[in-house]
Structure 1
Amino acid sequence: MVDVRAVVFDCDGVLTDNGSSWQNIHDYFGTENLVMLEKFLNGEITDDEFMADDIRLWTEVQPRIHRDDIMRCYSGISLMDGARDVVEELSRRGVFVAIVSAGVDVFVGVIANMLSVDDWAANGFDWDEEGWLQGPAPTRVNSHDKGIMVEKLSKIKEIDPDCIVSVGDSSTDLSMMIPGSHFIGFNPARQRARDAFENAEVPLVDSKDLRDIWEHIFEGETFPSSGEGD
């Protein structure tokens, strides 16, 4: 691989040890959206439609939802093993680190701040002045076309696509792999993702330690020894 100048991470299941920041809210309210999830993954409904249906389910359980209620959904969720080490080492080498996530912005923003990444984007909600949920915010990250955000990064930072590596755990994350760039499949979220990664012939890292992607970013290198996890 050529000189790497930017690494773009998905958040849920990659930087954090959770399946989905949207599913975390469903778990909190005791709801489920499996039918709509399948439609969404098949491209039959949009991000906006999917988010609106999620909110409909939650407000049937609790009509008024505050921002604090949403934050409580993420209590106890930890960073993926090695996440802090990987981001710190990339930054130390001058690599631009970004998060492009279709996950929930109030959660992704906390993770972005915790890891001190250079930039991030995610989806989320519209709140009133007192922090009460009014509905979904307009989609910022299209799950099926996350490459739009990677293209913007490439142009704004004047980074050649060949110097960009994206890392994701779902089939839709493959859309981050803009022409000429690179992709690493990490900790596949479901069989659909595993199949998609294999069909795309991208590196697939079956692990829950993010340091294991290192040899695919910097060919021939093992991750520098660190204190994390000792």
Structure 2
Amino acid sequence: MQRSPVRSLVVLDADSTLIQNEVIELLADEAGRGAAVAAATEAAMRGEVDFAESLRSRVAELRGVPTSSFARVRDRVEPTPGVRELIAAVHERGGIVAVVSGGFHEILDDLAPELGVDVWRANRLQAADGLLTGEVLGEIVDAEGKARALREWTTQYGIDPRCTIAVGDGANDLRMMAAAGLGVAFNAKPAVRAQADLVIGRADLRDVIPLVP
């Protein structure tokens, strides 16, 4: 039986978009360094520093955090209001939902399938002997990595680029928003709101549903 073509692609950022939290801050709390990492994350999301460089410095603060803390962090993660309704609506209309994140597979690999996300990409944390080393494994998913993921999924699933939507809040989402048919600033920083095709002010992903082809 021939599969129906995929009609649309909705790509969501993870931290502060798919979920209400910043996972790296939750992990840093485990090391007692949450406040310092939160300040660095805010600067990165405003676009004041290079994202990859900032991520490496923030991950360095996680050195020594036990991998057993992942379970506690997952328990603290709060999905953004309306996320399940949005994902259901995209599926009902023959589309797929993707997540691309400057955060971490260690949390997203459990969360994404539970929410009904179809495909996702994120960074991986290096660990040894049950402790984080403070380093990121492999190439960092930065602004260009997010845009590249959107383009790859568009090609992979044979989707009309005009039927792609990218939703994010931080400066590292701007390139994927520009690569999409529609770039949506969601509860976003001022620089992102200024460059987006559309701005959604309140933190409820149901507001994205009317935009889905």
TM-score (norm 1): 0.77
Percent identity reads 23
Quote the residue 2:3 is aligned against: none
Structure 2 counterpart of 1:38, which letter? A
Quote the residue 1:183 is aligned against: 183
Name the CA shift for 1:179/1:77 in 2 (closer, same or farther; >3 Å): closer
Tell me, yes or no, if structure 1 residue 133 matches structure 2 residue 156. Answer: no
**For 1:4 and 1:170, how far apart are their aligned partners in 2?**
27
Tell me, yes or no, if structure 1 residue 17 matches structure 2 residue 20. Answer: yes
C-alpha contact (below 8 Å) 1:147/1:176 kept by paired residues: yes
Q: Which moved more, 1:209-218 or 1:157-166?
A: 209-218
Match of 1:26 among 25, 28, 39: 28
How big is the shift at 1:150? 0.7
Name the CA shift for 1:39/1:171 in 2 (closer, same or farther; >3 Å): closer
SS of residue paired to 1:30 = coil
Structure 1 counterpart of 2:102, which letter? A
Structure 2 counterpart of 1:10, which letter? D
The answer for unaligned runs of 5 or more in structure 2 is: 1-5
SS of residue paired to 1:124 = strand
**Greater per-residue strand proportion:** 2
Quote the residue 1:100 is aligned against: 100
Match of 2:193 among 181, 192, 197: 197
How many residue pairs align between the two structures? 204
Partner deviation per Cα, 1:56-111 (whole Å, 9 max, x = no partner): 3233xxxx332112332343322111111110121122101110111122112222
Structure 1 counterpart of 2:185, which letter? G
C-alpha contact (below 8 Å) 1:86/1:210 kept by paired residues: yes
Quote the residue 2:87 is aligned against: 87
Quote the residue 2:201 is aligned against: 206
C-alpha contact (below 8 Å) 1:150/1:178 kept by paired residues: no
Name the CA shift for 1:9/1:211 in 2 (closer, same or farther; >3 Å): same
Name the CA shift for 1:110/1:95 in 2 (closer, same or farther; >3 Å): same
SS of residue paired to 2:165 = strand
Tell me, yes or no, if structure 1 residue 5 matches structure 2 residue 3. Answer: no
TM-score (norm 2): 0.82
Structure 1 counterpart of 2:153, which letter? L
Structure of higher CA gyration radius: 1
**For 1:164 and 1:21, how far apart are their aligned partners in 2?**
26
Structure 2 counterpart of 1:207, which letter? R
Computed over aligned residues only, the root mean square deviation of the Cα atoms, in angstroms, reads 2.5
**For 1:24 and 1:82, how far apart are their aligned partners in 2?**
22
**For 1:58 and 1:77, how far apart are their aligned partners in 2?**
18
Partner deviation per Cα, 1:9-34 (whole Å, 9 max, x = no partner): 1111111121x111222233221133
